[in-house]
Every structure is written in C-alpha cells, then in structure tokens.
Amino acid sequence: MDGLQSTDRHRTMTLLDILAFTWFCLCYFGYAWAVRYGPLKSRRGLVAAVNDRRIQWMETALRRDIRIMDAQLLTSLSSGNAFFASTSVLVLGGLTAMLGAADDVKNRLEQLPLVSDAPVVMWEFKILFLMVLMIMAFFAFAWAFRLTHYVGTMFGALPLQSEANTAEARTHARKTAALVGLSGRHLNAGLRTIYFAIAGLAWFVSPILFALGCAFVTLIVYRREYRSQASAVLDS
C-alpha cells in the first residue's frame, strides 16, 4: 500500500495537463506579444483612446489656475493600484497556506463532484502555478503604483497657467500623460494576469476546462479592448 501511495504521489503531468499548460502559455504570452509587438500593436483600441483623453486631461490642467480636482484624480489612480497590489499579496498568502496543506486540500476538494483525481504533486504544481501568476500581478500593480508617484512629481512641476501656451508646457503635459498611460498599461497587465489566474482555478477540476477557460479569458480581454462599447464611445 505504501508503495502504491508513493507511486501515486510522484506521478507527473498527464498529456492533457501538458497540452492545457502549453495552451495557457500561448494564450497568455501570445496575447501580450500581439498587443505589444504583433498585429494588434497598430490596431486602435480602448487603451489608445484613453491615452488620447489623458493627453487632453493634462493639456486642460495646464489652463487651470486651481488643480485640486486633478490632484484628487491622481490620488484615486494611486489608491486603485495600491488596492490591487495589496489584494495580490493577500491572495498569495492564502495560496502559500494552501500549499502547506496540499494533502488536506486535495482530500477535501476531491470529495466534490467534477474535481479530477490527481496526485498531490500535481496539486502542489497547480498551486505554485497560481502563486507565480499572483507574484507577476503584484509586480505589475506595484510598478503601476510607483509610476503614479512619478506622475505626481511631474504634475507638481506643470508650468503655470500663464505659460500654458508655450511649447515647453505642452511637451511637459504630454510627458506627464505618457507616464499616466504607462501606469495604466501595467495596471492592465496585472488585471489580465488575474483573469488568467481565475481561469487557472479550473485546472483543479479538469485540464480541458482549464484550456477552455484560457480561451474564454483571451476572447473576453480582446473584446473589451477592441470591441467594447466603451471603446466605441471614446472614439465617437
């Protein structure tokens, strides 16, 4: 009996698990590549439309004598990034505790219907997989949070209202808007990672369901970026 348990514990990934994980890599990294360097780079989407509004925001702020409202908006952006970074750390802590009790988690969850029967080593791998995704999300959110501090510095150095029409002032406003856009890009990357982490939960049920979840998340992310009503409104 001990020999059978030892054999079960050290069984590795099945072919379906390998295919599902490969499909995840294609969806996750492939979509990121397509947006940054591939065919979607030149396609106008929601991010590009919002970046135009960010430039408009900073150019409008140049002509304001009192910029309290703009400072409050920047504080709101910073708070949102900090919230997601903190949430990622909390989830990471929960996954760490789950990894330490992988045997108990496996025995309890496998009593539920539809949950696949897998060796403990596979459960540990899946938990580590989710932990890696949450670490990636944390670094994305943390960098977005840090960029908002740089934005605050740039915003504080905006020229006075009387200098709003100078070329130097407009250049400074565009640089500030570009930093806001860079922060937003990393925020989007962190959110996209969390979406795929949610799809990764389906791996505990079935590798086929995991693969379907990755495809569904990819379609949802694409639609919200390039086919959403928000994008149509901003470009109208």
**pLDDT averaged over every residue in the chain:** 87
Would you state the pLDDT for residue 86? 95
Q: Using CA atoms, how far apart are residues 66 and 86, in angstroms rounded to an integer?
A: 32
pLDDT score, position 14? 85
Residue 236 pLDDT exceeds 50: yes
Quickly state the pLDDT bin for 122 (edges 50, 70, 90): confident
* Intra-chain end-to-end CA distance of the chain, in Å: 69
Contact between 81 and 183 (Cβ < 8 Å): yes
Q: Residue 177: which pLDDT band, with cuts at 50, 70 and 90?
A: very high
Confidence of residue 8 (pLDDT cuts 50, 70, 90): very low
d(CA 231, CA 110): 43
- Confidence grade of residue 9 (pLDDT, cut at 50, 70, 90): very low
Give the residue ranges of DSSP H helices in the chain.
2-9, 15-36, 46-62, 68-100, 102-109, 120-156, 167-200, 207-226, 229-235
pLDDT confidence of 175, banded at 50, 70, 90? very high
Residue 28 has a pLDDT of 96
Which carries the bigger pLDDT value, residue 136 or residue 70? 136
Q: For the whole model, what pTM was predicted?
A: 0.87
- Per the CB < 8 A criterion, the answer to whether 154 and 71 are in contact is no
pLDDT of residue 4: 43
Task: Give the pLDDT band (50/70/90) at residue 11.
Answer: low
- CA atoms in the 13 A half-sphere facing the CB of 193: 22
CB contact at 8 A, 122 and 13: yes
CB atoms within 10 A of CB 26: 13
pLDDT exceeds 50 at position 54: yes
Tell me whether residue 224 is exposed, middle or buried, using C-beta atoms within 10 angstroms of its C-beta: 0 to 12, 13 to 18, 19 or more: middle
Does the pLDDT at position 188 exceed 90?
A: yes
